[in-house]
Structure 1
């Protein structure tokens, strides 16, 4: 999957040509389609302007061989949150075993050429996908069987490789748009334009690819765009578009224009675009318009994202290629299933200054001295500084892969900490000596006990509570050397279990049952501030909520601050 956004303009005459076999030469009331290819939901998040959605209708691509994957569900959820209408392109039908290619044919014509086995496999896989959509709370159906458009989402089987189903998809897009979006598709003069990508192009320098949804852009227009280092005020030097049916991201010759009318994807060349932020609005300064006010408006999107970060707290440093990607990543990291705290953010390549900011965590929480770099390059200088300081950099062009890398890193750190602190951790427990449970009264003491509360582990320091003249004192008995049940050794025993334990004095003062303590004394795990911190930091996931409440109860008992 490419991580660059592509855009292709389909003029009406080309759509008529591609759909003529469907006998719909038709009734096209729009001049064409501007199709923007976003590599996943992160890039789709860039398609907005001042909080609104630039996308009129979306095509959700589902691989017929794999069905709804996690990334597909994320995209689906974003479409639902944005209330965006969409059509499902059930792609890669040419991968069905035994598929006979009918290049660029309508899908029903292509299906007529297939064997019984191919049709059978197609129906089976289609049913699987429809079921998966139902599990997400959505009804779907093959578009030519769909009698409830609006209530039920249409599925168009396609092959991006050999073109089957593409005529159907184009015609359905046109028909659906013209039927349901008459008012939305009405052209207005107000410029509505969003920066999709910032690129360096040989012979043109740093350029911005924009999608113009409404209005007109002219050569020489004074524009304001959001920049990572402040607003950028510049003038359009040239307006470039790809040839019809060619993607803007594909290298080739561009068409020059003095002006471009919406809707179109345009490459703009101008001075000073190096720090432009993709995913933000482009503003044209009209006659008499206040430049300072336009600069403030241009920076609003960036400020809203920056304001979400708690710069005083603990957390990782996040770097992404665009504002939309950054917003998607922040949303993911803050989700209930992930919950990774964020202390700093940036847009664009990772530089030395970003490593310095991440390095502030080295003295506080070393695992957060980390840069999560999503779809961005890391400069050589930044890598060298990170290695020198001990800052970790994780790079990926898919959010889930970035999270997986960080999760493995955190798990390894926790395991290392567990090994380092294994001898110091104390799990909470209270034990009651069983009647006739004294097997050996001297060191090492062997007793039969009932675990009244908490969790008993080998290595736990055990003490008893003594009251002397209204003062509470604790007498250490020793450490749990072993736990047995029915002569079988255990690593731990839980609440309600009756077990035999051996208590070793560990070369300390030897205690004796009957002299220093008796059957009425409860045996308590001796916790400390240090052992509580270790338990909370490295072992919290190993104890239940009730067991943690018991720790807090012991904290009061031992008067730990």
Structure 2
């Protein structure tokens, strides 16, 4: 049988803390968290606590217990307990807290017992079953530290750290926090306790919200990584440029000569990305159809690429798609390396191309600029090693790092429906490690990774940072640019996907004009971005010059891309990615492009008169400006007598001493020449008649509402405010 400490203490006329202290002094192995002891130990102490326990003690506990019992007996016989008055050393703080904790827990136990026995016939109570001490849980250690969520109960904290609940509560009390076993602790409070107890804590990463997943908020998903966990990762590179300038041939040359050792010739499927190795370091290339896919990913919030290689043919120079690709990369704030291709041709003129690119802000290093330009030949392989070295150099300068020891976050490059595997997504892992069996959510798509292959078609069990892979086991095919996030279980992944789907239904993802204006007003956006298309070069330059004259300190206008020709699907996608609008001058919008704009929520406006276009842009920007608050002082009244004061309301007799005072006007209270507060006129009366306005020299009653307690001779200055729209003008 077991005996409760509380019951034995009550029987002996002691508190639980006093009993434990005396038992410890007597040589018994009693710990602060002990709540139950065996019957034999209880009997030993109880007999030793009395005056005639020597014989029993000798038989049951041996010499050590006998000596301790004799000490206790002598103390008891020497002087009655009630008369003992002796000076003691100040008790240790820990002992005081232990006593407080014990008494608090005793009260909790008695309270719980009373609830359990309320309304029951305790006379027919069956014999109690033995009560066993619950073993203290072993600490749950992850990477040398104990991982806890943002909020945790005292009980859960004790379980995770392997500490007794009483010790945790004691540490909290030492820090001035009174808590019970169910008290919720935030991470910062738990950190203080852990520091005192020499325990290393780690904040458990929270799952991505449905809004973050829906908006592709990659930066939000990555921001919680500790710098100590971050390791160097391979750069992710996209190759862009004008059609027929050799993008595909350059990629093929790199792939055929620099594939990761052991994987050459093993390409059995196309997943939109692959890895090469140069000087022992890996580089991931996105093998996508030009900048369209790059922009589509960026339109969904993903910045999956670290470096852009802009391919320009040395014999042809820049073309419209070159400029478009250049603007895409600039808008995405991705470092650009220029590959001057076809250098093996006799008609190649790299200096001409450098001159053309410098007009668009890409000035080569040898000309004093910051843009790396490398002559290459996709046919002979000339310059391939150099451009890879430059990629690694830029990667080092960008300090590309990721945490492989966390849940995976990745970006979808492309997806398709496979006859054998169903929906398959090609992804690049941004951070963490994706493993077979992981539960994932990708936008409104959920699933469990049942199969995974690398870029060469080999089956793999995991994919780390910057590694491309194709995964199967999804509910449907996701979109390019969607963000993949792993979750703890299938149920959570399914629920999160449903939440995203509901958000998509209730909230338009459009970046239409109204939404853009509201975002600028709220401070989320600071610039109106425009994709500008015109029929001729002269019109385009004239529009750029006119729009460049519109400015204001609060909002800015930026032409992110300007070109000649009709509005294309690519223009719409670019505007959508940048949360901008498309403006055309003497251009045509096809029904297909209009439909794409509707899907992306992009505003398209076309004009054939320049001044009308300028007026509309001014109107849009004016609507974005915060209105000016114009204040007009009406007049002043002097307080002659105060009739009533209650809380924030005062009724005062006044005289208008300057100009006029109007009902409902705002007031400034001036005393001894200083403004001491503000308020407003709730009602204005002349004798008993309510009036709207009174002029100089007239007496009136003012019902004032404000925080100031009015006094005789206070001056009430009346004024009104007006919100006035700001105007933009051309400079």
Tell whether the structures are fold-level matches, with TM greater than 0.5: no
User: TM-score if structure 2 supplies the norm length?
Assistant: 0.34
Q: Which has the higher contact order (CA 8 A, sep 6+)?
A: 1
Query: TM-score scaled to structure 1, two decimals?
Result: 0.43
Larger helix share, 1 or 2? 2
